[in-house]
Amino acid sequence: MKKIYKYLLLLVLLIVFFSSKLVITFDSTHYLTYIDIFEGVKPFSSWDLVRGPVFPIIIYISNLFFGKNVTGILLCMFMFYLVYCYIVYSFCNKVFNDLKYKKVYISIICIFAFFNPIILGYYHTLLTEFVAITLTMLSLFISWKWWMCDSKKNKILYSLFFIVMITVSYFLKQPYICVVAIPMIISMMYSIIKNKSLKNILYNFGTIIAAIIILFVSFFSWNKFLEFKGVDLNSGRDSSSMLSKQLLNSIDSYKTYVVKNYNEIKNDKYLSKQEKKLAKKVLKNNPIYIIEIYSNKKLLEKDFLKINKNGNASGTDTILEITNTFFKYPSLITTNYLKNYCALSSICIITSDDGVMYSVTNKKDFLHTYENSLIPYKSFENGSSIFDYPEERNETVENYIEYSNQTLFSKIISKFFTMTSVIFKFVIFTEALFLLLLFIIRIIKRKNIKEKQLYMFSLMLLLFSFLTLIANALVGSIIDRYATICFIPSLIGIIGAIMFILRNMRCIYEKRK
């Protein structure tokens, strides 16, 4: 009976999955140009520094195995989707293992996770999200198994997974390094709490150090390879420059402009004599960014950052500048990052002048998401699922263009998009509250808590999502698309937290009675 159920579920997934269209965005066409580089049509010197090699390699391998067409790409995506579905089911089976209505909870979450228009839509969109969502669930799954494991052999295998996959996640897309790094750190915290021996502590920290070393070696090796192939590493598209831009843009209290001549700041009353002296020395060789710090449109003070000839500050200098501002005006910076968090939950609306750098507005929207309503929804719309793209990419994209009418399944799924968007907002915005409640109950009840395994699972999932969103808020990756990886872990974590809270509150009530 169980096998029949599994085959039936697989059949439904197949029908639903392949009834929806492949979505090609502007960025998708950019990724497809790298296939031309691998095939020798374009020189390697045309590689864009900001893009890592992992996603183009996945597309290239998919083309080799399944062909350069829509069906081939969808088959590749479906493989990732099946891995994701299996892990979600396994997680739910573990999280709700001892609950009375276990099958009901698992069925509800699986229906929501497998046929959710946002998630399902991204598994039809030629962007990094379908890989990142799968890698997120895989990392959390391995994290749990690593923490629970007593076998030395398996522990080594799990640690090797994290050591390798941190580099893979970084080269998939820089913000997605959290997908592997944070589950690894959480698992290590659990492991050290469980076993405080010096050997275990050294083993865990050794894994972190090994992962960092492999990441940096890979990063510098990749840059050296690109430099050897003729790529300009000083184009302003390198990781440090892009990080600097995002960090500065994430603080809406900052206004910046470029100064190339000392006379422009010579009489500026907001800069001290010492700052002017340092700025004058820098201006002999490099231009500078003047940073104006505002609070409610009132100029508080100015500072400066050294920039290169391409007009970019280093990521390290920018981090130090923001840290310095935080110690001077902690409430100002904290408010900025809270707005960024709201933007990731798609409650605060974001805007962009160039489609690259985004800023948070004071406007609210409690029904619609930003990119999560635009990009994945395209796969359920009637007609073409192709966004606008430059004409020069026609030849690269032509094999993946698909025109078709809506199917019955895509029509049904599209009807739930607004509801899903509202649930997405609720889940992402309130996870911090449920995380806090878990900590409070643990403090109140200390070691006398019921459903300890449920507590640990829920805590792990919510902690991952919260820390990932905080990391994105800090670096200015404020598009709700980047929060999608946290959606299902948060949802499972919140439902688990509610079950845990209800059970423990009932126990407290029964004791008092």
Q: What is the pLDDT of residues 443-461, one digit of tens each?
A: 777 666 667 788 888 899 9
Q: Is the pLDDT assigned to residue 85 strictly greater than 90?
A: yes
Q: Greater confidence, 284 or 376?
A: 376
Q: Is the pLDDT assigned to residue 511 strictly greater than 60?
A: no
Q: How far is CA 173 from CA 198, 319, 416, in A?
A: 35, 20, 29
pTM of the entire predicted model: 0.91
pLDDT (average), residues 104-131: 90
Q: What is the pLDDT of residue 384?
A: 77
Instruction: Report yes or no on 367 lying in a domain.
Output: no
Question: Which residue in this structure is represented by tokens 């990781």?
Answer: 239
- 336, 205: one domain: no
pLDDT in tens, 318-333: 888 888 888 888 888 8
Q: Domain limits at 64?
A: 2-227+379-508
- 466, 487: one domain: yes
Band of pLDDT at residue 510, cut at 50, 70 and 90: low
DSSP string, 247-284: HHHT-TTEEEEEE--GGGTTT-TTS-HHHHHHHHHHHT
Q: Is the pLDDT assigned to residue 357 strictly greater than 90?
A: no
pLDDT (average), residues 299-326: 82
Share of the chain above pLDDT 90, in %: 31
Q: What is the pLDDT of residue 167?
A: 94
Instruction: Report yes or no on 373 lying in a domain.
Output: no
Q: What is the pLDDT of residue 164?
A: 94
Q: What is the pLDDT of residue 307?
A: 80
Band of pLDDT at residue 478, cut at 50, 70 and 90: confident
pLDDT (average), residues 259-283: 82
Instruction: Report yes or no on 44 lying in a domain.
Output: yes
Instruction: Report yes or no on 161 lying in a domain.
Output: yes
The amino acid present at 43, given as its one-letter code, is P
Give yes or no for a contact between 20 and 124, defined as CB atoms under 8 angstroms apart.
yes
pLDDT (average), residues 87-95: 85
- 218, 326: one domain: no
- 340, 389: one domain: no
- 130, 278: one domain: no
Give yes or no for a contact between 121 and 470, defined as CB atoms under 8 angstroms apart.
no
- 216, 257: one domain: no
Instruction: Report yes or no on 298 lying in a domain.
Output: yes
Q: Greater confidence, 59 or 266?
A: 59
- 116, 172: one domain: yes
Mean pLDDT of the chain: 85
- 352, 456: one domain: no
- 220, 244: one domain: no
pLDDT in tens, 145-180: 888 877 888 888 999 999 999 999 999 998 899 999
- 319, 245: one domain: yes
Q: How far is CA 33 from CA 21, 82, 395, in A?
A: 21, 27, 10
Last residue of a domain, one of 329, 359, 389: 359
- How many folded domains does the chain comprise? 2
- 281, 305: one domain: yes
Q: How far is CA 403 from CA 75, 127, 267, in A?
A: 18, 19, 62
- 56, 186: one domain: yes
Reduced to 3 states (helix: H, G, I; strand: E, B; else coil), residue 116 is: coil
